[in-house]
Amino acid sequence: ILRHALARLTNQTLARIAYEVVVVDDGSTDETPQVIADAAAGGARVRGVRLDRNQGRSAARNAGIRAVDAPLIVFVDSDILVLPDFLQRHLEIHQAAGRDVVGRGPVASIPSPEIPTRPPLTRISGAYLDTANASIPRQALVDAGMFDEGFRVYGWEDVDLGMRLRSRGLPRVYSAAALAYHVQHPPTVDSFE
């Protein structure tokens, strides 16, 4: 799915020079390095950051934050597909706010990498921060201490960082137009756990 995700992230309405895609490879043992290299060879600004062993979601995200000096970071996961105006929509959130905010958009689950012609109904998440679809000024992340690498259980690292960002006064600004699709195969008896 990463190949599909990168193809969509490198085909945005923003000029290619206006953004860079940084992919953190958290010690993968599959073809992830080649997928990243293929995306970079296509002329897009794609850069891989490789961790020599799996260190977990927090450490991987922190490595990505440290690897860039861009003023705004947009988080998506490797199984998230976006529309061509996705980055533009996140940029608009921050331009309209005129101050540091946490930008959020909806995440719709789809069973395969084919984006539907009509957006499915989405349940609007009340989560302050969900790194499947969020944008935050880089300096605000650094000032808040970034992701706590002590979290090794799925999902709590973004809740924790969100609480710290909120306590620093950053409001969440939600934009339904910043839609992302999570490729999530329907659960089976074997995969449910």
Maximum pairwise Cα distance, the chain: 48
State the pLDDT at residue 190. 74
Q: How confident is the model at residue 191 (pLDDT cuts 50, 70, 90)?
A: low
Asked whether the beta carbons of 158 and 129 are under 8 A apart, the reply is yes
State the pLDDT at residue 132. 93
pLDDT value at 185 more than 80: no
Q: What is the pLDDT of residues 53-108, one digit of tens each?
A: 999 999 999 999 999 999 999 999 999 999 999 999 999 999 999 999 999 999 99
Q: Which is nearest to 84 in space by CA: 153, 177, 192, 154?
A: 177
Q: How confident is the model at residue 152 (pLDDT cuts 50, 70, 90)?
A: confident
Q: How confident is the model at residue 167 (pLDDT cuts 50, 70, 90)?
A: very high
